[in-house]
Amino acid sequence: MLNRVINSGLNSNMSSVRISDDTYDTLRVLADLEGENLQTVLNKAIECYRRSRFWQDVENAAGKLRQDQVGWNEELAERQAWDATLGDGQDDT
């Protein structure tokens, strides 16, 4: 398998990354479709992946909390306490 090196420029706070030819080709197609450069598309993809991982971690933590009956009951009680603020007469807009 051949690898491509994406050199992000001469800027000292940027790096080069080796990727496979297939990944490079996919990146190039996406960049062409979006009308963006490779770096922008790669940055967007990494941000999307970071957010996905965040929500996976949130879901995993919530699943563990649901398995702890005492902790889950505390969570539900706290939610109920916060729900009371919805009827505080304040305009939400």
Q: Where are the domains of the chain?
A: 16-81
Q: Name the pLDDT band for 41 (thresholds 50, 70, 90).
A: very high
Helix (H) or strand (E) holding 16: strand 16-20
Taking the whole predicted model, whether its pTM rises above 0.75 is answered as no
Instruction: Please give the structure tokens belonging to residue 1.
Output: 């398998």
Q: What is the torsion angle, in degrees rounded to the nearest 10, for the CA atoms of residue 81, residue 83, residue 85 and residue 90?
A: 180
Instruction: Compute the distance between CA of residue 37 and CA of residue 27 in angstroms, rounded to an integer.
Output: 9
Instruction: State whether residue 26 is helix, strand or coil.
Output: helix
pLDDT tens digit string along 49-79? 999 999 999 999 999 999 999 999 999 999 9
**Per-residue model confidence (pLDDT) at position 90:** 73
Query: Do 8 and 16 contact (CB within 8 A), yes or no?
Result: yes
